[in-house]
Structure 1
């Protein structure tokens, strides 16, 4: 460098930077999703993820039947930062920074080989991190520097398309795996499968405006996981709307998933997704039909047990990447101000129906009926539950007690109310609502309860039709209504016959 020079070139060390590129934050799931993005952008209709985890040198290959690349396009695609994020892209292009292929692959493997076929020509190139570190230079290897025939996983590559092959899989499993290496790899790949079934579910199932894509893992077809459970008639769809951002349209639609008593136990468990309903509520942001972020309210609201059935689909075009601050991994986003403000107002509109679905249990609670066992009391934001002291059965028992024992019964009832297991019930219902149930009432006990209750209600001048309507909505009668209804009618008839 000359003394007094106003400029100085400071190229990064290839050895240092290429190692640093491995730690941008990719997981196996997000890395595979980035490779599939490239395949879909290349017009692929089938993407196959093949792997061998049992050999001494495990490998993984992602093969598509897209349009492939020329030799020049391949070399450009393998150059880090091959395209500017500010460059205008085709509406179906799922890429972003021109880094995904490289950084995603480096995050999992020390060797990346890309073999592509187009117009009858086959081209190949390889990034070997050990070679780059040794040379400390950005040098791609080309055949015959490596033998193409010895590269695994290429048998599925057709007349056109691209194969991305990972070898030296030092990040897929750590050294502590030991003899369980194969099982650990398979566990991680199975987790990746579930992730891809969610991220690309709209391509897997096919829908207007998106090309249907088949994705396979070692010959097994991925099945779309629709987080909105649209196949269920019990799923509520809220009115869709659009917001204009920089002249482009962002589509928003809210959904309320069915309550657990409206779906099968298998569907309830399935649509909870990994992490459960509480974690997976919130906004689902799609870019070009591909899910990029989900399970967040963008700090506009807290995740709540009563809103856990609410999910909102947001569709954005790739032309708004800069406004949404899409990151390299396409796993993080921030809504622009105009969208954020609309979403803030939308949360309350969506949360209301979600709370009603989750708390309704499918029936109306007749809290004003004399036969109600529990009263809900709300005072200054505090909610408590009290035993109905005017319940006919309780009044009957109290009247029959010897002098002085009524106060002891009242003390016991207050103890029951104070010991009401709110925390345990909330925890059990949140983790597995179908597991929380009331014990059934034996037939002889049900008959005694009906007889005492109906006698008291009739003495109060309440007609049979009103008694039937009230008790049909209350426990313990509602869940045993087939047996309770004839008992109620018989009790009234017996009392009528007695008074004749």
Structure 2
């Protein structure tokens, strides 16, 4: 209601310059995940992510789905900054800026092609430089949109759906070193697979969503076949680390109530799910917030508790829709949430049915970690590595394993019959390797300490034979087994290399 001091009401239109800051906080992984959200809201069950390269450098990103698609009016609204359609309770979209923010965080040109049953196919394109001046959007031809529909059908099996294309990319590898370019691309793909695998793990595991990723040169992408993203369950342990967990701890405040499902991973486990994207599991302790089975936050205590090595087994699930907007506030990138004061107050008084408080849960997780480390079994001493082992390899073995100082093992090359790879000289504590095949593992003229990977594997395989007082029947059988299989393997290796 206007007061007596109001003389006029004016409308302040947003400045198009705000486009320049859109997506500044998006990583490549979070940006593509945001596009996947839009696909899911459109009813997609199959999504193809295509990372297209030229001379091993990423030049175009495509996210193609088999959802319901859009007609011209819907496409115009989708390209409008801040347009908020009527979101259902199951929608992952929330702010009306997701596609624009995720796209302009990484590309200067955003193209959208879409086909909807009963409507002509449509195409729209936004150029960041123009959009940041006057919000202008290009309307693309129906013929071009029809071509995009044919392409979509080839990729997803359905002409209906939407294709989002990023071009004129920013933030990718631009150097001149081809090897660096390939490494950058491989790392980007691995990180993306991991991020999508954990973010959408529930939907993928339920077989309601299939995401595939293709990395290929632009000129050959039409012939490429994507590889499915596998689900990475951050709670995928076989047995709980504590017999009393998982446990539901209920937090209440102001008549609102949420349930925290508190888990404790088993100690000394290092599998995908505990470890994510190759990073150690202790980085992923904390809260896991879900909305409609989409993971919004992957760990972190959000200033409710402190991270520590002793708490690395503790992970807490919160997947109640009512929590967001009251206890928690979601950011536009959907990369973590802000925990409101009401949540912290509620957590201080939260308890399970048996009276367990949240602080007690953290102490149980810490105790489980400490006890797990205490139960670590002592590794059995092994024979000392001697001749043929590179210094770094020898040092690593000595660091990881206690050594039997009474004897040592040599790994050396010698001429053996064709088709044999190793021979055990028990009396001289030597494992002979056939020098006929040395060029396969040490192509640059071998040295005494060459082929460290092969020698490390042979040491781990055979050291127990040399540690006994004599060769027993089981040892002899193992030696025969190793010689047969390794002999066949090295001949196959040579054949595959055309040598």
TM-score by length of 2: 0.63
Post-superposition Cα deviations, 1:387-426, rounded to whole Å, max 9, x if no partner, equal xxxxxxxxxxxxxxxxxxxxxxxxxxxxxxxxxxxxxxxx
Post-superposition Cα deviations, 1:99-151, rounded to whole Å, max 9, x if no partner, equal 10111011111111111111143122111224435xx3211111239944786
Post-superposition Cα deviations, 1:178-229, rounded to whole Å, max 9, x if no partner, equal 54445423422321111111111111112xxxx7211111111111111122
The answer to whether the 8 Å contact 2:123/2:144 transfers is no
Give the C-alpha shift of residue 441 in structure 1. Answer: 8.2
Give the C-alpha shift of residue 42 in structure 1. Answer: 1.5
Q: Secondary structure at the match of 1:142?
A: strand
Give the C-alpha shift of residue 35 in structure 1. Answer: 0.5
1:20 aligned onto 2:21: yes
- Greater share of strand: 2
Q: How many residues align?
A: 355
The answer to whether the 8 Å contact 2:123/2:141 transfers is no
Give the C-alpha shift of residue 256 in structure 1. Answer: 0.8
Task: Give me the whole-angstrom Cα distance separating, in 2, the residues matched to 1:350 and 1:9.
Answer: 53
1:140 aligned onto 2:121: no
Alignment counterpart, residue 363 of structure 2, candidates 333, 341, 352: 352
Q: Secondary structure at the match of 1:273?
A: coil
Q: Secondary structure at the match of 2:22?
A: helix
Q: 1:59 to 1:182 in 2, by over 3 A?
A: farther
Q: Secondary structure at the match of 2:333?
A: coil
Task: Give me the whole-angstrom Cα distance separating, in 1, the residues matched to 2:66 and 2:253.
Answer: 35
Give 1:218-257 correspondences, 5 Å limit.
218=214, 219-232=226-239, 237-243=245-251, 250-257=258-265
Q: Secondary structure at the match of 1:115?
A: strand
Give 1:263-342 correspondences, 5 Å limit.
263=269, 267-268=270-271, 271-274=274-277, 275-317=279-321, 320-321=324-325, 323-342=327-346
Give 1:180-219 correspondences, 5 Å limit.
180-206=180-206, 212-218=208-214, 219=226
Task: Give me the whole-angstrom Cα distance separating, in 1, the residues matched to 2:126 and 2:339.
Answer: 36
Q: 1:137 to 1:307 in 2, by over 3 A?
A: same
Aligned to 2:77: 76
Q: Secondary structure at the match of 1:321?
A: coil
Q: 1:362 to 1:328 in 2, by over 3 A?
A: closer
The answer to whether the 8 Å contact 2:173/2:184 transfers is no
Task: Give me the whole-angstrom Cα distance separating, in 2, the residues matched to 1:110 and 1:318.
Answer: 37
Task: Give me the whole-angstrom Cα distance separating, in 2, the residues matched to 1:43 and 1:336.
Answer: 32
Q: 1:329 to 1:212 in 2, by over 3 A?
A: same
Give 1:359-378 correspondences, 5 Å limit.
359-361=370-372
Alignment counterpart, residue 343 of structure 1, candidates 329, 341, 347: 347
Deviates more, 1:216-225 or 1:354-363: 354-363
Q: Secondary structure at the match of 1:240?
A: strand
Aligned to 1:53: 53
Q: 1:116 to 1:318 in 2, by over 3 A?
A: farther
- For structure 1, list consecutive stretches of 5 or more residues without a partner in the other structure: 366-434, 444-500
Alignment counterpart, residue 267 of structure 2, candidates 259, 265, 268: 259
Task: Give me the whole-angstrom Cα distance separating, in 1, the residues matched to 2:341 and 2:23.
Answer: 33
Post-superposition Cα deviations, 1:50-71, rounded to whole Å, max 9, x if no partner, equal 1211268821111111111222
The answer to whether the 8 Å contact 1:53/1:182 transfers is no
Task: Give me the whole-angstrom Cα distance separating, in 2, the residues matched to 1:109 and 1:30.
Answer: 14
Q: 1:255 to 1:440 in 2, by over 3 A?
A: farther
Q: 1:362 to 1:57 in 2, by over 3 A?
A: closer
Task: Give me the whole-angstrom Cα distance separating, in 1, the residues matched to 2:65 and 2:95.
Answer: 21
Task: Give me the whole-angstrom Cα distance separating, in 1, the residues matched to 2:301 and 2:164.
Answer: 35
TM-score by length of 1: 0.63
- For structure 2, list consecutive stretches of 5 or more residues without a partner in the other structure: 1-5, 215-225, 351-356, 377-397, 407-499
Q: 1:234 to 1:185 in 2, by over 3 A?
A: same
Post-superposition Cα deviations, 1:151-191, rounded to whole Å, max 9, x if no partner, equal 696442523211111111123x1544654445423422321
Task: Give me the whole-angstrom Cα distance separating, in 2, the residues matched to 1:221 and 1:102.
Answer: 26
Give the C-alpha shift of residue 312 in structure 1. Answer: 0.7
Task: Give me the whole-angstrom Cα distance separating, in 2, the residues matched to 1:185 and 1:141.
Answer: 31
